[in-house]
Chain A
């Protein structure tokens, strides 16, 4: 089973509001994760400019020899992306599911301030369960 390296959520203005690494490989310290988030925010924006036709919403999948990066951007502009081993399946479904967890356990929490870093225990608990590989496989069904 191919592994998930890490998960990121970035707000509308490109600030990293959530980071989680999922295994032993590909870990990043705080500075590096902030750098990746900001890099990705910019690359995602630039990629929209690459489109020869109007209405491009940016890169959804970046494939490289050492990793895949899947990105989902909600219409209001929050970006969710997952970095994983090349060829890891069901990542689109996982991102959709994480988006739903975010609408439940982050946005409905009165103590969460919008656009700010996410520190919600219930979100962490549910997310940790979701990224376990057997759960991810279920999402793909």
Chain B
């Protein structure tokens, strides 16, 4: 059914073919939208921890959908079952689609077996954002942490995911590290699968 305008209509959104994901909008449009997301959520909270949680929630909604979309489009409906597989999926595939590049690094935590870190010198969402001094260590990357959590949770890898500024020597601006701490069950399962 083709309407009078140029827009093609579908009786159901599921009938519509999945887009190839090549369409783009300006970074400006995204930056202003993200800024509004942060500003709106600031009006809904009393403290910074709550603001972080709400940004994480918003990101989670994005992450769970990105997982569905990418498993369908990029991986022929296959899903990762192993820890390193899903981490590399986040660090490479998810990052590339959402942020136009693979993340700068993926590392295993040195002190804790269950921790992994994805780091980015300049996180896309933070490109234009300066955190006021009175907000301490708050990082709008909480939204991205939420995306990562949304992907991991829905892929069967529950984890606590947080965003942190980490100073880099010789650089004026810190990088952002997304810290992933997997649930105990994930590590137990992984150990079983490795046997």
Contact = CB atoms under 8 A, between A and B. Distances in A.
Interface of A: 104-105, 108-111, 119-123, 125
B61 interface: no
Given A108-B32, A121-B131, 19 more contacts: A104-B128, A105-B128, A105-B130, A108-B28, A108-B35, A109-B129, A110-B38, A110-B42, A110-B129, A110-B140, A111-B38, A111-B129, A111-B130, A111-B135, A120-B130, A121-B130, A122-B128, A123-B130, A125-B173
Nearest to B37: A110
Nearest to A119: B132
Interface of B: 28, 31-32, 34-39, 42, 128-132, 135, 140, 172-173
A122 to B, nearest CB: 5
A108 B130 contact: no
Nearest to A121: B130
Contacts of B128: 104-105, 108-109, 122
A122 B172 CA distance: 10
B137 to A, nearest CB: 14
B64 to A, nearest CB: 24
A120 B135 CA distance: 13
